[in-house]
Amino acid sequence: MFRYLVRRILWAVVLFVAVTMVSFVIFFIVPVEPARLIAGPQAPPDAVERAKKAYHLDDPVWKQYLRFMKTLVVDGSLGKSLATRQRVNDVVRAAAPVTISLVIGGAILWMLVAVPIGILSALKPRSLLDRAAMVFVLVGISAHPVWIGLILSYFVGYKLQLTPLGGYCDLINPSTDCGGPIDWFHSMILPWITFMLLFSALYVRMIRANVLETLNEDYVRTARAKGAPESQVMRSHVLRNALLPVVTMLGMDIGLALGGAIFTETVFGLPGLGKVAVEALTGFDLPIVMGITVFATLAIIVFNLAVDLLYAVIDPRIRLS
């Protein structure tokens, strides 16, 4: 177990370096002058030159990369935005909680929806419920989050005036004109629903398939042969096994989503990592892009690792091999 853990961590480090390196390099293939960005579009050439020198933009790529890594690892700093000169750490620190609320809240919601529907569909295959669930799945997977978001905004937000149309309300420290838990919840409902639809559709399908498969396993038949009531068979034998793989998928999906639920954030104007990333990309603001990449990569790696460990804990076949 310990060996496994150490090996995973070492690989995680390698992965981190690889991802950041590739992101960094890609940026340099794009033919744009960051120096010009810094100096401003109207700046004269010598101002651009000074900017270049100040930001070491004339150094070779690998040197800039190493400098970046050194700053990151030693100082814990992600540098400064080229456009606004804000510290990237601060930008990420401000945007992250928004994305985290969106993703975690969305995840809870999607599991609350997917698990019961998935299980019930599996228990009554081809019934009306099952067919309705499959239609739901189809819509959820096919409909684009932007479309869903706009439709919901329009009908629920605009027409029915039930929720705000956009913007984010901080949960703890009110920074804008709204704040506090109730406002936060209110402003997140539509984004949550938009975000979770796709995932709940996918998970309904997966859970349904897993439960159907598990129901056919020999050990379920053994449990019934022992005289166990159906509720116990489901709880102790079917679900316990069927939902194991769902745990791992959940961890990975959350990790991935933390990188930025771009569409949902854009539609609802939530100042999360996705929105910030999109702006930084269009503005060729390398430090911010790198900063978000670092955060996202770390999130994915950490979650994947956590999921692997969790799986090793809950599945005795892995724990004891």
* Contacting residues toward other proteins, per CB under 8 A: 3, 6-7, 10, 217-219, 221-229, 236-237, 240-241, 244, 314-317, 320-321
Choose between 60 and 227: whose C-beta lies nearer to other proteins. 227
Choose between 174 and 229: whose C-beta lies nearer to other proteins. 229
Choose between 279 and 315: whose C-beta lies nearer to other proteins. 315
Among 120, 22, 17, 118, which residue's Cα sits nearest to residue 72?
A: 17
175 token code pair = 């920074």
Distance of CA 89 to the CA centre of its chain: 19
Q: How far apart are CA 177 and CA 170, in angstroms?
A: 10
CA dihedral (257, 262, 265, 268) positive or negative: negative
Choose between 173 and 321: whose C-beta lies nearer to other proteins. 321
Closest approach of other proteins to the CB of residue 8, in Å: 10
Among 277, 278, 285, which residue's Cα sits nearest to residue 27?
A: 285
Other C-beta atoms lying within 10 Å of the C-beta of residue 135: 9
Closest approach of other proteins to the CB of residue 9, in Å: 10
Looking at residue 31, the DSSP 8-state letter turns out to be: -
Closest approach of other proteins to the CB of residue 236, in Å: 7
The DSSP secondary structure of 225-249, one letter per residue, reads HTT--HHHIIIIIIIHHHTHHHHHH
Choose between 94 and 314: whose C-beta lies nearer to other proteins. 314
State the greatest distance between any 2 C-alpha atoms of the chain, in Å, as a whole number: 86
Among 312, 129, 132, 120, which residue's Cα sits nearest to residue 211?
A: 120
Choose between 91 and 246: whose C-beta lies nearer to other proteins. 246
Distance of CA 30 to the CA centre of its chain: 26
- Residue 182 identity (one-letter amino acid): I
